[in-house]
A = this chain, B = another copy of it.
Amino acid sequence: RELSVEEVKASTPLTIKYVIIGGGTAAYFAAVGVRRKDKAAPILLISRESEAPYARPSLSKELWFRPIAEYSPSAALSYADWAGKERNAVFQSKEQYCTADDLRRGEPCVGLLSNTTVVDLDVANRKLTLDNGQVVHFEKCLIATGGRPRSLPIIEQAPAQARQHITLYRSIDDFRKLDGISRSVQSVAIIGGGFLGSELSIALAARGKALNGIHVTQVIQERGVLAKVLPGYLCDWTTQMVQEQGVEVLTASSITAIDHKDGKVVLDVKKGDQHSQLAVDHVIVAVGLDPNVELAKKANLELDPVKGGILVNAELEARSGIYAAGDVASFYDVVLGRRREEHHDHAVVSGRLAGENMAGERKHYSHQSFFWSDLGPAVGFEAIGLIDSTLETVSVWARNSNLAPSQQPADQTAAQQTPQQSGDGVAASRQATKDFGKGVVFYLRGKQVVGVVTWNLPDKIPIARRIIREAKTHDNFSQLAALFKVNAAKKTA
């Protein structure tokens, strides 16, 4: 059962061995990690949100593809996953957390204090202060405060009338609101070409087809969809695939002004020297994440000036007994160097590792996390390691894919591509055939594979993980790609 602030207040001064700041994925799995190693001590999660911890991925994917029912602001957050299994975004319901009494008695349970913000962290004295003034003492503390959607000055300065029709998207609340909005509007603009902007574009276009024909325009400052992660040719192809799903994509375009006119938000879109006006009912801004580091900064913890976030070591520890995990942590990966990752599985893996270390393990980060995205039927990929389009890449593609099934013999992989900076032109001949149905992209530092994207090739991440962990140098990428059986299981479109 959910704790109330009043209940916790009643037990001043509260002392809990393990305190976890944040109520997201990293926070939840940190509790799991602590419990793996310490069966006895109580754990307290303190979350600013009103929901119990949940996974965000379905908020821009599955939840939008459910059969369309009557709108309800409290609709369940369950959906069928890719294997048809019934899932819920929420990890466990509030009833499954323990009560204030349990905590006070020192029961080995996990308490959840929601709607509560930690406003102060005193590292030296191992205590923190809640927004109601309540002090909580701890032995070990995890900062898993994640991040919030970045805004832009132009958004902040937009007329109030326009701002009412602008959404920054991250939470279940945001999903519920946008679900409602999507049922009434005719046109939506989505600013941003990253994961969120692209996934929501596809989701809203699908909703439009199913319901009210919303016109979706995605405005991207880069050359296309996911330009920061995919090599150029693949970004171009993916952009086309997104367009085929009914999204109008404006590439190399930025917003230079926002106004409100005739009941519409009017965006001034600049492409090269050309300006055009885009009038829409609603705008979604998905221009990246700002890690929530204010608390850490106030506590004099070190921030990473390059990658942002709280600087922790390979064990995810910032100072003795103070850890950080998930989106907010800049951590040291012994194989790949300093990183900050903003993905679900990283929140799981790093949260769990931090939890285990809080409970006395001294393990360093070694299990590489992965991530995935889906953008319509032709584009589904998984990825692991450093996925950054400024790295050199080599890709190997199945000769026969669902898109051009008869053009190439099915039993050969494409010839090895020469590595090229940012991948442009790497697969020029392939680009002509638009044949990126199935393949592997290797991201390189010198001859070392530091990242792998498996494209429409499910369940191959463990192979990629092994390659990255080995940290060997490679010359023969066809051979390496053969491990992924690029041609084995023919995808049936």
A313 to chain B, nearest CB (A): 6
Kindly list chain B residues whose C-beta atoms are within 8 Å of the C-beta of A357. Answer: 320
Judged by a CB distance under 8 angstroms, whether A233 is at the interface is no
A364 and B332: CB pair below 8 A?
no
**Residue total for A at the interface (Cβ-Cβ under 8 A):** 19
Residue in B334, B338, B362, B364 whose beta carbon sits within 8 Å of that of A321 in the complex: B362
- Give a binary string over A354-378; 1 marks a CB under 8 Å from any B CB, 0 the rest: 0001000010100000000000000
Residues of A311-327 at the interface with B, using a CB-CB cut-off of 8 Å, are 311, 313-315, 317-321
A414 to chain B, nearest CB (A): 36
A226 to chain B, nearest CB (A): 28
A388 to chain B, nearest CB (A): 17
Judged by a CB distance under 8 angstroms, whether A302 is at the interface is yes
Rounded to whole angstroms, the CA-CA distance of A320 and B362 in the bound complex is: 7
The residue on B at minimum CB distance from A312 is: B313
Residue in B302, B318, B320, B338 whose beta carbon sits within 8 Å of that of A302 in the complex: B338
Judged by a CB distance under 8 angstroms, whether A300 is at the interface is yes
Residues of A117-137 at the interface with B, using a CB-CB cut-off of 8 Å, are 123-124
Residue in B124, B300, B311, B320 whose beta carbon sits within 8 Å of that of A317 in the complex: B320
Rounded to whole angstroms, the CA-CA distance of A300 and B336 in the bound complex is: 11
- Give a binary string over A277-292; 1 marks a CB under 8 Å from any B CB, 0 the rest: 0000000000000000
A205 to chain B, nearest CB (A): 43
Main secondary structure of the interface of A (DSSP, over half): loop
Kindly list chain B residues whose C-beta atoms are within 8 Å of the C-beta of A124. Answer: 362, 364
Residue in B123, B300, B315, B332 whose beta carbon sits within 8 Å of that of A320 in the complex: B315
A170 to chain B, nearest CB (A): 30
Rounded to whole angstroms, the CA-CA distance of A124 and B319 in the bound complex is: 19
Kindly list chain B residues whose C-beta atoms are within 8 Å of the C-beta of A332. Answer: 302, 311
The residue on B at minimum CB distance from A333 is: B302
Kindly list chain B residues whose C-beta atoms are within 8 Å of the C-beta of A319. Answer: 313-315, 362, 364
Rounded to whole angstroms, the CA-CA distance of A123 and B365 in the bound complex is: 13
Kindly list chain B residues whose C-beta atoms are within 8 Å of the C-beta of A318. Answer: 313
A324 to chain B, nearest CB (A): 12
Kindly list chain B residues whose C-beta atoms are within 8 Å of the C-beta of A300. Answer: 314, 334, 364
Rounded to whole angstroms, the CA-CA distance of A321 and B320 in the bound complex is: 10
Kindly list chain B residues whose C-beta atoms are within 8 Å of the C-beta of A364. Answer: 123-124, 300, 319
Rounded to whole angstroms, the CA-CA distance of A357 and B320 in the bound complex is: 10
Rounded to whole angstroms, the CA-CA distance of A124 and B320 in the bound complex is: 17
Kindly list chain B residues whose C-beta atoms are within 8 Å of the C-beta of A311. Answer: 313, 332
A32 to chain B, nearest CB (A): 21
The residue on B at minimum CB distance from A318 is: B313
A405 to chain B, nearest CB (A): 47
Kindly list chain B residues whose C-beta atoms are within 8 Å of the C-beta of A302. Answer: 313-314, 332, 338
A347 to chain B, nearest CB (A): 22
A378 to chain B, nearest CB (A): 40
Residues of A335-350 at the interface with B, using a CB-CB cut-off of 8 Å, are 338
The residue on B at minimum CB distance from A317 is: B320
Rounded to whole angstroms, the CA-CA distance of A357 and B357 in the bound complex is: 18
Kindly list chain B residues whose C-beta atoms are within 8 Å of the C-beta of A321. Answer: 362
Rounded to whole angstroms, the CA-CA distance of A72 and B338 in the bound complex is: 52
A181 to chain B, nearest CB (A): 44
Rounded to whole angstroms, the CA-CA distance of A338 and B362 in the bound complex is: 25
The residue on B at minimum CB distance from A338 is: B302
- Give a binary string over A293-322; 1 marks a CB under 8 Å from any B CB, 0 the rest: 000000010100000000101110111110
Rounded to whole angstroms, the CA-CA distance of A313 and B299 in the bound complex is: 14
Kindly list chain B residues whose C-beta atoms are within 8 Å of the C-beta of A320. Answer: 315, 317, 320, 357, 362
The residue on B at minimum CB distance from A331 is: B302
A421 to chain B, nearest CB (A): 21
A307 to chain B, nearest CB (A): 12
The residue on B at minimum CB distance from A300 is: B334
The residue on B at minimum CB distance from A321 is: B362
The residue on B at minimum CB distance from A357 is: B320
Kindly list chain B residues whose C-beta atoms are within 8 Å of the C-beta of A317. Answer: 313, 317, 320
A residues neighboring B (CB under 8 Å): 123-124, 300, 302, 311, 313-315, 317-321, 332, 334, 338, 357, 362, 364
12 contacts between A and B (CB under 8 A): A123-B364, A124-B364, A300-B314, A302-B313, A302-B338, A311-B313, A313-B319, A314-B319, A319-B364, A320-B357, A320-B362, A321-B362
15 additional A-B pairs beyond A302-B313, A302-B314, A319-B362, beta carbons within 8 Å, are A124-B362, A124-B364, A300-B314, A300-B334, A302-B332, A302-B338, A311-B313, A313-B317, A313-B318, A313-B319, A315-B319, A315-B320, A317-B320, A319-B364, A320-B320
